């Protein structure tokens, strides 16, 4: 199986990228590589919201060919939004190839203070695994003790465990199985 790629947009601390890669390898046993940085997506800035449009960035990100990777996680330090939410920690299309993670709100605690490095790294890892779950077709889980449960804010994210529930684990294991990946290649027809 091809590795998962971790791609910084602009300047992102190398230890953040390595932390995400290590958690994907450690939790899911998927080889992960840090890829060269992409240009910061200034084009997605929304002057009315003073934030960056996650959908616009994701659309541009998905148009880039990443033949060496099975899935790609882009990480950037920008406040992201989607039209129906005030902000998002991450964004991915169900069953897609690319996901985004925003460091912007992960770096701050509820009281406005700066998160310690271990807290930041744990938050980033959780968001990365959650968004990767979406890329492998997992939906939001009703189990509050599952990493796929929706986190509407930092408090929810900090309470979330760094693992998937039994149901989501089984579904993810099936999605990652070699037989499933061989079937995907067969159905691909060489178009992509």
* pLDDT of 181 above 60: no
Instruction: Based on the residue annotation, tell me whether 131 is a catalytic residue of this protein.
Output: yes
Domain region containing 165: 4-188
DSSP of 13-49, one letter per residue? -HHHHHHHHHHHHHHH---EEEPPPB---GGGEETTT
Q: Is the pTM of this model over 0.85?
A: yes
Query: What is the domain count for the chain?
Result: 1
98 C-beta neighbours (distance < 10 Å), count: 25
| pLDDT tens digit sequence for 71-120 | 999 999 999 999 999 999 999 999 999 999 999 999 999 999 999 999 99
Selected catalytic residue, list 33, 131, 142, 144: 131
Rounded Cα distance, 11 and 25, in Å = 23
Residue 130, domain CATH:
3.40.390.10
């Amino acid at each position: 199986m091809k590795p998962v790629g971790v791609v910084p947009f602009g300047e992102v601390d190398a230890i953040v990228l390595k932390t995400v890669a290590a958690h994907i390898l450690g939790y899911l046993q998927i080889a992960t590589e840090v890829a060269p940085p992409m240009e910061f997506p200034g084009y997605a800035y929304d002057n009315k919201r003073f934030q960056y449009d996650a959908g616009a960035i994701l659309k541009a990100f998905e148009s880039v060919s990443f033949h060496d990777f099975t899935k790609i996680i882009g990480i950037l330090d920008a406040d992201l939004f989607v039209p129906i939410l005030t902000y998002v920690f991450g964004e991915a299309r169900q069953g897609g190839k690319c996901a985004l993670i925003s460091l912007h709100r992960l770096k701050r605690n509820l009281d406005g203070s700066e998160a310690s490095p271990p807290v930041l790294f744990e938050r980033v890892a959780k968001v990365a695994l959650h968004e990767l779950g979406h890329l492998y077709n997992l939906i939001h889980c009703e189990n509050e003790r599952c990493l796929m449960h929706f986190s509407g804010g930092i408090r929810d994210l900090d309470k979330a465990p760094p693992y998937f529930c039994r149901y989501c684990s089984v579904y993810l294991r099936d999605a990652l199985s070699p037989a499933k990946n061989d079937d995907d290649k067969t159905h691909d027809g060489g178009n992509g």
